[in-house]
Amino acid sequence: MKVAQWKMETPVGIFHLVASGRGLRGLYWKEQAAPYAESLAQPGEEIAMLARAVHQLEEYLEGARRVFELPLDPVGTDFQRQVWAELAKIPYGETRSYRDIARAIHNEKAMRAVGAANGKNPISIIVPCHRVIGANGTLTGYAGGLGSKTKLLELERRGLSLVDLHG
């Protein structure tokens, strides 16, 4: 499958976005290895998908977008995709624990597996793994770092614009 990628610099970090003709396949932090770096496509549907994703991310970081309207095409196991689908249901400005997600997928004993699937989420921010916290309310690991996770949660809780805060 052909994919295209785009590098995006933001107030919270540098992202590598990857899209197929079916949808957004990845939004990776600079520190993560984007697995599709060798598979660049000629301009086409993939490029249009990246442009839509970049525009919506800019709106989100400006505090003007709460819900993303993009087709997604993540690659993962059935269990991972089940967890990611549940993450996508967490409302803007709210958080859930790993236990909450495990309960929501009707597998309460799978908290560690939920945590592992959360860590493998290939579409950060849009599939909001930053909204998952520890059972006691503490911030837990995040691919973009805890500082970025804190900024994203503050953006959502306070309705701030990270663009204004950064500039």
Q: Which residues are catalytic?
A: 129
Give me the residue label for tokens 């301009």.
Answer: 43
**93: region left, alpha or beta (phi > 0 left; psi from -120 to 50 alpha):** left
Token reading at 32: 């993560």
* CA-based nearest residue to 84, from 48, 113, 59, 54: 113
Q: 10 has which bridge partners?
A: 13
